[in-house]
Amino acid sequence: MSCVKALVITGYGINCEKEMAVACEMAGADTTICHAQRLLNHQVNLNDYHFLCLPGGFAFGDELGAAKVLANRISRRESLIQDLKDFVAEGKCILGVCNGFQLLVKLGLLPNSDKEQRISLTYNDHARFDNRWIGHRVHSSHCIFTQGLDHLHLPIRHGEGKFVVKDKKFVDELISADQVVFRYHPNNPNGSEEHIAGICDSTGRILGMMAHPEAALYFTNHPDWLRRKEQSKREKTPLPEYGEGYMLFKNAIDYLNSS
């Protein structure tokens, strides 16, 4: 049995925790789903885990902005912020998806763990909630989640996914530091700066992304799986067992097992 233990946060409007837990278990992790309040109350010890997953949803109904209320509650607990920094310093991994990405940004844990918010995720240019599958080009070479990956087709489900910065020079800094992990390709669904769809911290072990890899674990999750199956049959190539989102979790668990 894998020694890697994953902690998946739920509660207060987070609603993708079960899919995230399944993804971690499929990849080989011993997985626990935990209510966010237990973490806030220090009833759960982060030291007992190696992989922290912050799923999508609408924490506190996205009042004051996406993930803002939950970020405020966590920020008021300096000891918890320090626990999160220690968690990363010990070589562990964090994945924030959609609302979880928004939370990491508002906590200042992305792009780097300095508690200073330098980027944001705001309303889509078309001012609507977007629910569809989008292409993602992998751009980072040192993010541990995307090793061996080039292009992924994943579902997005968000109304506030537009990646923005106050100083456009900072985008160049992120690119130079190899922290831009995903770019939307070929279409930018929300107007994100430089088509950015996901970033990591300087260690490559904290990943935030708007798309939902936990909703693309199986080949048959893809809306075009029948067409792809027929194409595979004509080309006499084997059908993949897993969906394109699975490898993000597998890479993380494999990394933690080997470190």
Query: CA 154, 155, 157, 160 torsion: positive or negative?
Result: positive
Is the previous residue joined to 213 through a cis bond, with omega within 30 degrees of 0?
Answer: no
The catalytic position among 98, 139, 195, 244 is 98
Active site residue 222: no
* Residue 98 annotated to the active site: yes
Report angle CA 49, 51, 55 to the nearest 5 degrees.
Answer: 120
Catalytic (active site) residue 158? no
The CA distance from 49 to 4, in Å, is: 7
What CA–CA distance (Å, rounded) separates 191 from 117?
A: 20
Structural contact between residues 140 and 178, judged by C-beta atoms closer than 8 angstroms: yes
Interacting residues of 69 by C-beta distance below 8 A, sequence separation 6+? 59, 60, 63
Tokens 């010990």 identify what position? Answer: 90
Distance, CA of 217 to CA of 180 (rounded, Å): 23
- Measured CA to CA, the distance from residue 221 to residue 72 in angstroms comes to 35
Catalytic residue set? 98, 212, 214
